[in-house]
Amino acid sequence: MQLIGRIADKWTMLVIEILTEKGELRFGQLSRACDGISQKMLTQTLRALERDGLVTRIVYPVIPPKVIYSLTELGLGLSEAFCGVWIWAQANHEKINNARAAYDASNMG
């Protein structure tokens, strides 16, 4: 169950989505693409994904340091599984917003 919590985390899903779309990225590029994530949270998310074998981190011995992140085969497999969730969310976004608005309107006290 710990694994489900890890992969269902909003930042994990976003990082996986971005790396799926853009391929290899440096930390700064990934940070800019993950709107709203703090540097600390992005670092923690990437470390956890690397530990789980979903992301690979390649450090190039140059100055300034160059570090590239990309999905592993395991990460790409997870991305394929997420695809259905993303399609569903996009297709139902308006319905969910309408349901939220109706709920909020009926529960204002």
For position 109, what pLDDT does the model report?
61
C-alpha 26/C-alpha 89 separation (Å) is 28
pTM above 0.95, yes or no: no
> What 3-state DSSP class applies to 106?
helix
C-alpha 45/C-alpha 24 separation (Å) is 16
C-alpha 100/C-alpha 6 separation (Å) is 26
pLDDT in tens, 47-78: 999 999 999 999 999 999 899 999 999 999 99
> Containing domain of residue 49, as a range?
2-81
Apex 18 CA angle, 85 and 91, nearest 5 = 30
For position 21, what pLDDT does the model report?
95
pLDDT at 1 over 70: no
Domain count, the chain: 1
On whether residue 96 sits in a domain, the answer given is no
On whether residue 106 sits in a domain, the answer given is no
